[in-house]
Amino acid sequence: MKHTFLFAAAIAALSPLSAQAQTMSSSPVVSAGNTLLSVAAEGKSTRTPDLAVFNAGVTTQATTAGAALTENAQRMSAVIASLRKAGIAERDIQTSNLSVNPVYGQPKRLPDGSMEQQDPIIIGYQATNQVSVRQRKLDSYGKVIDTLVANGANQVNGPSFQIDNSDAAMDEARIEAMKKARMRADLYAKAVGLRVVRVLTISENAGWSPPQPQVMFARADMASAPKSSPVAAGELEMTVTVNVSYELGQ
């Protein structure tokens, strides 16, 4: 019985050490006499956007919430119908905002110049309905905006230019980043009289930098907008930063 107890105690004592050993082994380990080098490098690639995302909608105001929402629904139905007629697919039209909010009157100014102290008074209601739209034919983007304006839209914001499938462009940036990382590793190794033995770890941070979205129109007199709104898509820049650890040795 005594031997059984001692054996169990020994196993219990070794368990934390075993777990600790597993944790320590997850870090990069270099051979005796070798050196650990960590470098960061950035790779880039550019593409012409093939997708424009923008928001379009209608804001209406009336004395009652029901009246504001009814008018809004009628005008928004015309806006959505115009999007479909312009060739925008159903899957590329998605409601992004539907709200009804009170409109408060301004306090009155008293003869002495001060403002009348009173609880806010609701003088009407404002209804807003917006959809997020993905425009895939960029050469038609300006015409689509003009069509929306002509059919009652009084809020159009965007665009945010994107790439529908960025995998190939991101891979190009990754390859460039890894080449730069290896060149720097070789440079450091040569400077200290060593060579790169192997890669130990690789991690990345990736993303793209699209042109900043701009407000196209946001006013009540949108019927006076130009008949062909100019749009410049420019280029998107895909960026990948890699962090690579190398083992250096003789």
**Position 223 confidence tier, pLDDT thresholds 50, 70, 90:** very low
127 beta partners = 60, 100
- For residue range 134-155, list pLDDT tens digits in order: 999 988 888 899 999 999 999 9
Asked whether residue 70 is assigned to any structural domain, the reply reads: yes
Print the domain residue range for 133: 51-106+122-163+213-219
Asked whether residue 31 is assigned to any structural domain, the reply reads: no
Asked whether residue 42 is assigned to any structural domain, the reply reads: no
Asked whether residue 102 is assigned to any structural domain, the reply reads: yes
* Number of folded domains that form the chain: 1
Give the CA radius of gyration of the chain: 31
Distance CA 72, CA 61 (A): 8
Asked whether residue 159 is assigned to any structural domain, the reply reads: yes
Distance CA 80, CA 147 (A): 11
Q: Looking at residue 75, which CATH number applies to its domain?
A: 3.30.70.2970
Asked whether residue 80 is assigned to any structural domain, the reply reads: yes
Per the confidence metrics, is the pTM higher than 0.85?
A: no
Contact 53, 231 (CB under 8 A): no
**Position 123 confidence tier, pLDDT thresholds 50, 70, 90:** very high
Asked whether residue 191 is assigned to any structural domain, the reply reads: no
User: Which pLDDT belongs to residue 217?
Assistant: 38
Asked whether residue 152 is assigned to any structural domain, the reply reads: yes
Q: Is the pLDDT of residue 230 over 90?
A: no
